[in-house]
Structure 1
Amino acid sequence: MKKNSVENHVYNHIKTAILARKLAPGKQLIENNISTTLKVSRTPIRNALRNLASEGLVDIIPNKGAFVTSPTLDEITQAYELRGKLEFIAARASMEYLTNDDFDTIKEIIEREKLALSDKNVEAFVKINKDFHVAITKKCNNKFLNEFIERLIIQTNIYLILYDEFFNSIKLDAYSPNEHDHILSLMEQKRETELKIALENHFKHSIISVENGYYEYKELDEIF
């Protein structure tokens, strides 16, 4: 395989294992094990790990190695709570500028979200989830606020990938489409006070779903 193909192969192999929850948060990604199992040299492995680190899925710790990212519960809670506050500020401002076409586009995003959740497609869901939240906040006309919110969305989507209980259960119903519908309806009606409460409850629900996420993972040596 060409260099880029080898690197992509390693990247996709590790990322798929993380998305499928076959690698537990905090598990070390030992280059020698990966090299032996995938029959590749160390250079494409290191490049693949750096790419995964740039996406927030892997932490590279100097003199220790690479690990599947393992946020604390306090970090998760802090990120969601801050995100909720910032999104309300942005959504409140965006309400004045969102058009009927914008609302129609966001409603289509919610329909795509329902399909992704029906298929239990976590990778598709986190992308669509980001699309929804960015769509309701981007017209706040504050570049810095938008940048902070997008960064927090990317970070909290990683928590959904790692822990959200919905993707490991056949019994639970998806909660986010209905909540997204409600949030959008309140924005259309410019009901600011109720919007604030709806966003707070939405992120509290996310925190609870992540807190309840206890999963069975394979040991790293069973994958590499």
Structure 2
Amino acid sequence: MGHDDLPVMSRPETLRGHVENFLKEAIMNGRFAPGERLVERELCDYLKVSRPPLREALRKLEAEKLIVIVPHRGPVVATLGIAEAKELYALRGLLEGFAAAEFARLATNKEIASLEKTVKNLHKQASNPDRRALIEAKSKIYDVLLSGCGNHLITEVLQGLLTRINLLRVTSFSRPERLHESLAEIDVLLEHIKDRDSEGAQRMATLHIKNAESAAMEMLESQTSS
């Protein structure tokens, strides 16, 4: 397991949170690949922590289904199957379509301007070779959209799925032309929102997720058959 390209950890409130945030980012950004074994001794040496906080962090990631504990192997980065990915995309389509419709209806002009700013930043990061910047830019769009949709329960559910959504987002961006398509879809979504067109925003948000699913399924199926 190479560590040269791993991100440098920042200082959160607790040591366990410190380790957890580091591992979560490394998994979401593909530095630890699906199916890769996480060797506790190597991680302890690299992170300069003892095993108790590392194991606490691993248990939290297991609860979030980012890792699985395999008998006789230990912690392994989770692999998303095709059926599970389809279920996740179905849920995303429902929730994000509704969130977009409600944002178009309820958001303040200031929130819409903030959304437009995050979309412009996403376009800017599209040419950035650092995939972390691209994923972070997409996440900021969701932050604005969810904060202005007026439904805290949807926000809570989607935020609970965010790490796994990011894993699938990396997959769906893997087909080169998908990024260009995705940006165009988000631009159309933004125009519907600026026009206060709730129905159009819902349709576009749902289509955006459907197209992301198609791209991700292509990649997952090719990986499964290879």
TM-score (norm 1): 0.72
Q: Which residue of structure 1 lines up, in the alignment, with residue 172 of structure 2?
A: 164
SS at match of 2:95: helix
Q: Percent of aligned positions with the same letter in both sequences?
A: 24
Quickly say closer, same or farther: Cα 1:146–1:64, change in 2 above 3 A: same
Task: Check whether the contact 1:164–1:209 (CA below 8 A) recurs between aligned residues.
Answer: yes
**Of 94, 100, 110, the match for 1:101:** 110
Following TM superposition, by how much is the alpha carbon of 1:61 offset from its aligned partner in structure 2, in angstroms?
5.4
SS at match of 1:59: strand
1:78 aligns with 2:74: no
Q: How many residues align?
A: 209
Q: Which residue of structure 2 lines up, in the alignment, with residue 46 of structure 1?
A: 55
Letter matched to residue 37 of structure 2: Q
Q: Structure 2: state its 5+ residue gaps.
A: 1-13
Following TM superposition, by how much is the alpha carbon of 1:9 offset from its aligned partner in structure 2, in angstroms?
8.1
Following TM superposition, by how much is the alpha carbon of 1:196 offset from its aligned partner in structure 2, in angstroms?
2.8
1:141 aligns with 2:147: no
Letter matched to residue 149 of structure 1: L
Quickly say closer, same or farther: Cα 1:165–1:126, change in 2 above 3 A: closer
Spell out, residue by residue over 1:31-58, the C-alpha distance to the aligned partner (whole angstroms, 9 max, x if none).
3565688897644543553465476543
Task: Check whether the contact 1:113–1:125 (CA below 8 A) recurs between aligned residues.
Answer: yes
1:185 aligns with 2:194: no
Q: Which residue of structure 2 lines up, in the alignment, with residue 195 of structure 1?
A: 201
Over the aligned positions, Cα root-mean-square deviation in angstroms equals: 3.7
By relative contact order (CA 8 Å, sep 6+), the higher-ranking structure is 1
Task: Check whether the contact 1:59–1:66 (CA below 8 A) recurs between aligned residues.
Answer: yes
Q: Which residue of structure 2 lines up, in the alignment, with residue 92 of structure 1?
A: 101
Task: Check whether the contact 1:10–1:38 (CA below 8 A) recurs between aligned residues.
Answer: no
1:128 aligns with 2:128: no
Spell out, residue by residue over 1:97-117, the C-alpha distance to the aligned partner (whole angstroms, 9 max, x if none).
212221111111012212322
Task: Check whether the contact 1:88–1:196 (CA below 8 A) recurs between aligned residues.
Answer: yes
Quickly say closer, same or farther: Cα 1:95–1:8, change in 2 above 3 A: closer
1:207 aligns with 2:216: no
**Of 27, 35, 50, the match for 1:26:** 35
Letter matched to residue 203 of structure 2: I
Spell out, residue by residue over 1:101-149, the C-alpha distance to the aligned partner (whole angstroms, 9 max, x if none).
2111111101221232211332232232222123223333322222123
Following TM superposition, by how much is the alpha carbon of 1:63 offset from its aligned partner in structure 2, in angstroms?
7.2
SS at match of 1:140: coil
Letter matched to residue 172 of structure 2: D
TM-score (norm 2): 0.71
Task: Check whether the contact 2:102–2:198 (CA below 8 A) recurs between aligned residues.
Answer: no
Alignment of 1:111-126 (within 5 A): 111-126=120-135
